[in-house]
Structure formats: structure tokens, C-alpha cells
Amino acid sequence: MARTHAVLVTGSAGWIGRAVSAELVARGHRVRGFDRVPSPALPDSVVGDVAGPDELARALAGMDTAVHLAATPDEADFMTLLLPNNVVGLYRMLEAARHARLARVVLVSSGQLYRGHDGPLPITPATPTSPRNWYALTKVLTEAAGQVYAHAHGLGVVVIRPGWVPRDPAHAAELAANPHGKDSYLSPGDAGRGFAAAVEAGGLPPYTVVHVCSQPLGMTRYDLGPAKRLLGYEPRDRWPEGLGFAIATDAAGGGSS
């Protein structure tokens, strides 16, 4: 195993946050959670708001790495949800990480950067983005801000563009009905492994962008080569493996439509 890290996971009570925290703990890392609600699976956790001016700075004390997952996870009202959670919270995290002199911050982007993509496949980190809503635009900002802090402030930044992680049965049914859903699926277990690999990987450039998905059911939509080469990430699951809850038979079966 790579050396042990002290990792702050924001959004630790969320669906992906719980999976990432559990994987990091299983690998022997010291993990501290940060969320608006308690993270009962973590003995070391802080309840706070990422948009608060001082809360992240206190939570980062003694940490060397952060995985920043806290955000509104889909399209929502910009002024009341996306702005404070996805924009102000991002700024607070990067500034706190800079002042704490963290070795690395792992930022979560989104597959929604390619919602309007009709070009060649697979999509690679170099494929031009095609956002279609304000949520996706906040993730464009996330990636650009990561570049700024990597190159202007010397902060190691890894951006993960995750596949589609269903949060509940309705969200899973939406994935199953989407023409690209089953080839974009990311199980919680593979999400945990992908983010943990980003924490542990050595020898990375200052700024790294990779796609992390589970194995496609039909067509390869996202190029996982950079994640394998740079992070050592290998997906284990394929839709609907590792989903974590029951779904309707017609949603689970079949190939990509």
C-alpha cells in the first residue's frame, strides 16, 4: 500500500462520500469527515458548512490531503443552492487547502460536462466539454479553479470526472432509461476505489484530470486509460453490480439502448 494519508472528506455523509470514506479507512488512511449532518461511520468528523469562512480551515488541521465532494449534485436553483454550495464552497476549500499547505486536493467534476456530446467516442480528458445547465457550468469552474491553484499556488490537484452514481431507486431507474446510462454507471465501490487511488497515486503532474466509471455494459463511452495509467484504477463492477439497493427488474436488465 502507498503511504498512509490524513484525509479530509467533505460531503462525507453523502452516497459517494460514504463509499469514499469507507474505502480510505479500509486501506488504513486516517479519515476525517466534513458535512452538514453527522457522518456516523466516521469516529472523526466535523459538522459544518463548506461555504462557512472558517469551518474548513479548522477541519483541515492535521490533514495532508482533501477529497472535496460537498456540493449540490445536480441542476438546482443557482442563487440559493449552486452558488453557495458549488462555487463559494469550492473557493473556501481551495483557499483553506492552500493556507494549510496540503499536498493534494481531489476535486469531483461531473459527466454532465458532456450532456450534449455527439462527437467521437470514447470521451477523453481532452475532449471539449459541452455543458447544458448551470450545474455543469459550476463543474467547468471546478476544473478551471483546480488548474489555477495547481499552477499558481503549487497545490497538487486531481480532478475526477465520475460516471453516474445512482443515489436512490428513482435515480437508478432514470439511469436505466437513459441511452448512455448503463455505459456511464459508476458503482459506489468503484467510486471509493477511484477516489482512494487518486489520494494514493504518486508521481502525478501538478494538475490531473481522469474519468472514473465502472465497466461499460455495451459501448465504451469514457476512456479509463488515463485513470489506469496515472492512478492504477481498475473498475470491478458492471451495471447493476454494487448498486447498494434493490431496483425494478425491468430497470436492472438488458443492455444499453
Give, in order, the Cα–Cα distances in Å from 35 to each of 15, 38, 87, 122: 12, 7, 16, 34
pLDDT one-digit tens code per residue, 101-123: 999 999 999 999 998 788 999 99
pLDDT one-digit tens code per residue, 72-95: 999 999 999 999 999 999 999 999
| Cis? peptide before 179, omega within 30° of 0 | no
The whole-angstrom separation of Cα 41 and Cα 11 is 13
pTM greater than 0.85 (yes/no) = yes
**pLDDT given at position 151:** 97
Q: Find the mean pLDDT for residues 9-24.
A: 97
pLDDT one-digit tens code per residue, 217-255: 999 999 999 999 999 999 999 999 999 988 865 544 443
Q: What is the dihedral angle through the alpha carbons of 192, 38, 104, 63, rounded to the nearest 10 degrees?
A: -130
CA proximity to 199, closest of 157, 247, 147: 157
Indicate the helix (H) or strand (E) that contains 95: helix 89-100
**pLDDT given at position 70:** 98
On whether the CB atoms of residues 41 and 47 are closer than 8 A, the answer is no
Report CA torsion sign: 108, 67, 65, 78: positive
Amino acid letter, 58: R
- What proportions of the chain, in percent to the nearest 5, are helix, strand and coil? 40, 15, 45
**Range 6-167+188-215+223-235 classified under CATH 3.40.50.720:** yes
